[in-house]
Structure 1
Amino acid sequence: MVRPNSRSVFLLCVSWAFLLSHINCQQIPTVLWHGMGDTCCNPLSLGSIITLIQQKIPGIYVKSLRLGNNFEEDFLSGFFMNSNDQIANVCKQLAADPKLQNGYNAVGFSQGGQFWRAVAQRCPTPPMYNLISIGGQQQGVYGFPRCPGDNSTICDYVRKLLNLGAYESLVQAEYWQDPLQEQKYRKKCIFLPDINQENTKNATYKTNLMKIKNLVLVKFLRDTMVDPKDSEWFGFYKEGQSKETFTLFESKLYTEDWLGLKEMNNTGRLHFLTSDTDHLQFSEEWFIQNIINVYLK
């Protein structure tokens, strides 16, 4: 029997150590999706997030999604581009980027949060590792941003105006959920009822979402943009009124496990974070401590 000499053993150990260290140094890329009223690379918003991530994780590849040929088109797409078309566009972008083929972490801000979930459910390739929804309206919205409250006459009036056209063909609301017209919402809304499995149950959606390692939901406790803010944790108004809310754990989506969230929670993969601020008004320290250090490194 041939015995390896000490030099060959040493070289083998060095080779393995180098290989393992090289593998460990390969950072998982991060892909960002901005919210409505923003763009991919605004230096005052996502541009600063890109810089912060790159500073804390040297060498990481960070991609910030842009829908359109320029920043103006990207800005307008957040307001006017059909949600399903946005999801399809992003799926193509991800598939075409060679740096993402081994997987990525997804961070979505505001509506980018629920849009990322649609990507996870519809486009599992390339693989998504962690999905981080920062203020994403997972159950939609039923309110006008910055409205001073349910008891305000103007808020109720604005809601009534929006309800008149929200589910008509010329408007096609995509995540406006009217608790006073739940049947109409489920029938006419073209996006949210689908990804939330409220009509036809798509087994592939559940299978694909459960492939991710962690689903992180961030709720802003003083949110004046998202109504109700409970939507950021999959809560919403109880059917037939707009005062009392239910939690994720009280919903059929959870109890009947339409998306696998119950199983993910039972295995420690569903996480609920808070920021005691208004919508998306978190500090760099909060983002570093709660997001970068825990889910992106």
Structure 2
Amino acid sequence: MAKELKFKSMLPKNICFVLILLLHALSPILGMFRMNFPTSPVPIVMWHGIGDTCCNPLSLGRIKEVIEKEINGVYVHSISIGHGFAKDAESGYFMPPNKQIEIACEQLRSDDNLKNGYHGLGFSQGGQFLRGLAQRCSDPPMKTLVTLGGQHQGVYGLPKCPGDSKKYCDYIRRLLNHAYSNWVQRILAPAGYWHDPLDEPTYKKKSKFLADINNEVFINQEYKQNLVNLEKLVLVKFNNDTTVQPKESSWFGYYKPGSLVIQRLNETSLWIEDRLGLKKMGDRLVLLDTDGDHLQFSEEWFVTNIVRPYFK
């Protein structure tokens, strides 16, 4: 009986020792299996520019098809503010940015496909709106943000108004003569990023959107940290842009305060004082440029320079 009891007590120890040796020997193989195990691609959220809609088959609808073709199984969500093409397009003109971002945040939070995070892709006006979303709405988290022709330092001038509606464009031009009036800030989206370099004090005091997300009145540490948390911030400037004035706004450049002399990003107070954490991002901040007018790029350029390096 004593030998039997001794044998039974030793058996589990021997088995454990053998299992440990076996797992140690197999660990390189198991590691290779884990590394090659397929994972779901990170979802992509797009936001269209003014005058466009979430799902226009000639613009974002086509972009969605291109992305889905290049990234097998990717989930693409295109933000729509309002139900239907007409309401979405109207909101792009006549709903203030702060309200649009609030709606978009709730929209993304309610989408289970995005709960683990997503990449952002913003076109023109949708670029700075997505950036505002990243700063104000970190749940779900944005991983990489790419903006094409965004107006991150705002605009001063509206030579061409995107979209097909001349009526909307003419009406906006008239309203922007009063861009800093409270009622215009409340009802007109472009007024939220109208930036008069010849009257910086009024801009900082009256701007309800851009001056806030750019931390120009005071530094909101949450805004700054949420931007720094991005894996990549990719800013695309169109070298022949006739819509974004100045085109350097797509790279956070702008007119020198009190003048119409262009400042590059590294000459602005946003950079020098690092009010947004852009300097802290280092090489995670990527500045790309391409020839062509506003949002004019080929499918090949888009896939080669945006989809493959930053989304795939």
Deviation at 1:200, TM superposition (A): 2.0
Equivalent pair of 1:174/1:192 in contact (CA under 8 Å)? yes
Match of 2:192 among 161, 174, 180: 174
Q: 2:300 aligns with which of 281, 285, 295?
A: 285
**Residues 243-282 of structure 1, C-alpha deviations (whole Å, 9 max, x = no match):** x110110111111111100011xx3100000110000001
CA positional deviation for 1:163: 5.8
2:88 partner SS: helix
Matched residue, 1:151 = none
Secondary structure, in 3 states, of the residue corresponding to 2:160? Answer: coil
Q: After alignment, is 232-241 or 29-38 more displaced? A: 232-241
Distance 1:26 1:161, change over 3 A: closer
Q: Letter of the aligned partner of 1:270 in structure 2?
A: L
Q: Distance in 1 between matches of 2:258 and 2:27?
A: 69
**Does residue 269 of structure 2 align to residue 256 of structure 1?**
no
- Could you say which residue in structure 1 is the equivalent of 2:118? 104
What secondary structure sits across from 1:274 in the alignment? strand
TM (norm. structure 1) is: 0.89
CA 1:238 to 1:20, structure 2 compared with 1: closer, same or farther past 3 Å? same
AA aligned opposite 1:251: T
Aligned equivalent of 2:231 = 213
Deviations 1:62-112 (A, max 9, x none): 111111011111111110111000111111111111111111000000011
97-106 vs 166-175, greater mean Cα deviation: 166-175
Which protein has the bigger helix share?
2
2:116 aligned counterpart, secondary structure: coil
Structure 1 residues 69, 101: CA separation in 2 closer, same or farther (over 3 Å shift)? Answer: same
Give the deviation of 1:18 after TM superposition: 5.3
Within 5 A, what are the aligned runs for 1:132-211? 132-146=146-160, 164-172=177-185, 173-211=191-229
Tell me the amino acid that sits aligned with residue 257 of structure 1.
D
Contact 1:142–1:159 (Cα < 8 Å) also in 2? no
Tell me, what secondary structure is at the counterpart of 2:301?
Answer: helix
Q: Can you give the 5+ residue segments of structure 2 that lack an aligned partner in the other structure?
A: 1-13, 162-170, 186-190
Provide the C-alpha distance between the structure 1 equivalents of 2:112 and 2:213, rounded to a whole number of angstroms: 27
Q: Please say if 1:94 is aligned against 2:101.
A: no
How has the CA–CA distance of structure 1 residues 5 and 143 changed in structure 2, closer, same or farther, with 3 Å as cutoff?
A: closer
Aligned CA-pair RMSD: 2.4
TM-score by length of 2: 0.85
Larger-Rg structure: 2
> 1:160/1:125 Cα in 2 relative to 1: closer, same or farther (>3 Å)?
closer
Aligned length, in residue pairs: 283
1:64-143 matches, cutoff 5 A = 64-143=78-157
1:25: how far off? 2.7
Cα displacement (A) at 1:182: 1.0
Tell me the percent identity: 50
Verify the 8 A CA contact 1:163 1:178 in the aligned structure 2: no
**1:15-70 CA deviation, whole Å, 9 max, x = no partner?**
76555444x43100111000000000100000110000000011111111111011
Q: Are the structure 2 counterparts of residues 60 and 187 from structure 1 closer, same or farther at C-alpha, using a change threshold of 3 Å? A: same
